[in-house]
Amino acid sequence: MDKHDQLFGSLLYLFHTTGMQGLGKLMNPVSQKIEINTIQAKESIDMLEMLKEKSKGNISPELSRLLDQFLTDLRLNYVDELKDINQ
Protein backbone atom coordinates (compact mmCIF):
# COMPACT_ATOMS: atom_id res chain seq x y z
CA MET A 1 0.00 0.00 0.00
CA ASP A 2 1.52 3.32 -1.02
CA LYS A 3 1.37 6.61 0.88
CA HIS A 4 -1.69 7.89 -1.02
CA ASP A 5 -3.59 4.67 -0.33
CA GLN A 6 -2.74 4.97 3.36
CA LEU A 7 -3.91 8.58 3.43
CA PHE A 8 -7.12 7.73 1.58
CA GLY A 9 -7.79 4.90 4.04
CA SER A 10 -7.20 7.31 6.92
CA LEU A 11 -9.66 9.77 5.38
CA LEU A 12 -12.29 7.03 5.09
CA TYR A 13 -11.68 6.05 8.70
CA LEU A 14 -12.03 9.69 9.79
CA PHE A 15 -15.45 10.06 8.16
CA HIS A 16 -16.60 6.68 9.49
CA THR A 17 -15.53 7.58 13.03
CA THR A 18 -17.17 11.00 12.81
CA GLY A 19 -20.37 9.39 11.58
CA MET A 20 -20.37 6.81 14.36
CA GLN A 21 -19.84 9.58 16.92
CA GLY A 22 -22.83 11.42 15.45
CA LEU A 23 -24.90 8.28 15.84
CA GLY A 24 -23.93 7.93 19.48
CA LYS A 25 -21.96 4.75 18.86
CA LEU A 26 -18.64 6.29 19.91
CA MET A 27 -17.79 8.83 22.57
CA ASN A 28 -17.14 12.39 21.49
CA PRO A 29 -13.44 12.86 22.32
CA VAL A 30 -13.90 16.57 23.06
CA SER A 31 -16.88 16.38 25.44
CA GLN A 32 -16.10 12.84 26.67
CA LYS A 33 -19.83 12.07 26.25
CA ILE A 34 -22.00 9.95 24.01
CA GLU A 35 -23.91 12.44 21.88
CA ILE A 36 -26.34 11.99 19.01
CA ASN A 37 -26.12 14.34 16.06
CA THR A 38 -27.84 12.80 13.04
CA ILE A 39 -26.93 15.81 10.88
CA GLN A 40 -23.25 15.12 11.49
CA ALA A 41 -23.79 11.44 10.74
CA LYS A 42 -25.62 12.20 7.49
CA GLU A 43 -22.83 14.56 6.41
CA SER A 44 -20.31 11.79 6.97
CA ILE A 45 -22.41 9.41 4.87
CA ASP A 46 -22.70 12.05 2.15
CA MET A 47 -18.95 12.64 2.16
CA LEU A 48 -18.21 8.92 1.85
CA GLU A 49 -20.76 8.63 -0.97
CA MET A 50 -19.06 11.52 -2.78
CA LEU A 51 -15.63 9.94 -2.30
CA LYS A 52 -16.96 6.66 -3.67
CA GLU A 53 -18.33 8.37 -6.77
CA LYS A 54 -15.26 10.53 -7.38
CA SER A 55 -12.76 7.72 -6.81
CA LYS A 56 -14.58 5.06 -8.85
CA GLY A 57 -11.99 3.15 -10.85
CA ASN A 58 -9.09 4.98 -9.22
CA ILE A 59 -8.64 3.12 -5.93
CA SER A 60 -7.54 -0.39 -5.07
CA PRO A 61 -10.09 -3.17 -4.58
CA GLU A 62 -9.16 -3.22 -0.87
CA LEU A 63 -9.94 0.49 -0.42
CA SER A 64 -13.13 0.09 -2.44
CA ARG A 65 -14.26 -2.73 -0.13
CA LEU A 66 -13.37 -0.65 2.95
CA LEU A 67 -15.36 2.29 1.60
CA ASP A 68 -18.36 0.05 0.89
CA GLN A 69 -18.10 -1.50 4.37
CA PHE A 70 -17.98 1.89 6.08
CA LEU A 71 -20.94 3.16 4.04
CA THR A 72 -23.03 0.08 4.80
CA ASP A 73 -22.21 0.30 8.49
CA LEU A 74 -23.10 3.99 8.72
CA ARG A 75 -26.27 3.68 6.63
CA LEU A 76 -27.66 0.79 8.69
CA ASN A 77 -26.89 2.53 11.98
CA TYR A 78 -28.33 5.81 10.67
CA VAL A 79 -31.64 4.15 9.76
CA ASP A 80 -31.77 2.45 13.17
CA GLU A 81 -31.10 5.74 14.93
CA LEU A 82 -33.84 7.52 12.99
CA LYS A 83 -36.28 4.74 13.96
CA ASP A 84 -35.36 5.20 17.63
CA ILE A 85 -35.79 8.98 17.42
CA ASN A 86 -39.19 8.70 15.75
CA GLN A 87 -40.63 6.23 18.26
Please say whether the beta carbons of 47 and 31 come within 8 A: no
How many whole angstroms separate alpha carbon 34 and alpha carbon 22?
9
**What's the pTM value of the predicted model, to 2 decimals?**
0.94
pLDDT at 35 over 80: yes
pLDDT tens for 1-28 read 899 999 999 999 999 999 999 999 999 9
How many whole angstroms separate alpha carbon 83 and alpha carbon 52?
26
pLDDT for residue 85: 83
pLDDT tens for 58-85 read 999 999 999 999 999 999 999 999 988 8
Q: What pLDDT band is residue 86 in, cutting at 50, 70 and 90? A: confident
**β-bridge mates for residue 23, sequence order:** 36
Q: How far is CA 57 from CA 6, 12, 64, 65, 73, in A?
A: 17, 16, 9, 12, 22
